[in-house]
Amino acid sequence: MIDRLEKEVDMLERHLQVLKMVIDNEPIGIVKMSNETGYPHHKVRYSLRVLEEENLIEPSSQGAIKTERTDEFVDELDDKLDEIVTKLESMKIEEAAEIES
């Protein structure tokens, strides 16, 4: 059960790292991203596809570039991650047991 969550978090981390590279270096191609991150080409390609489906990047002849939606997404990201962290922390069984004692 937790293993799936861990894998999703790892994948989200990779997607966000690829997005950050696009934001910082646009336009940027798969080979350069793969070389700089150490991720295999197929994983970078998958992250790019996910980001494109979310309308956060778009392809260009020179490589991936950000979209009009990218800045808004980045502005909201920290708050959304904080909400998720708070929710996860509230799920800890050990802490709940200590509070009840």
Domain chopping of the chain, boundaries = 1-91
Burial class from Cβ neighbours inside 10 Å (0-12, 13-18, 19+) for residue 50 reads middle
90: enclosing H helix or E strand: helix 70-90
Provide the CATH topology of domain 1-91: Arc Repressor Mutant, subunit A (1.10.10)
- 22-79 confidence digits (pLDDT tens): 999 999 999 999 999 999 999 999 999 999 999 999 999 999 999 999 999 999 999 9
pTM of the entire predicted model: 0.84
Strand partners, 65: 58
Amino acid, res. 46: Y
- Write the secondary structure of 8-63 as one string of H (helix), E (strand) and C (coil): HHHHHHHHHHHHHHHHHHCCECHHHHHHHHCCCHHHHHHHHHHHHHCCCEEEECCE
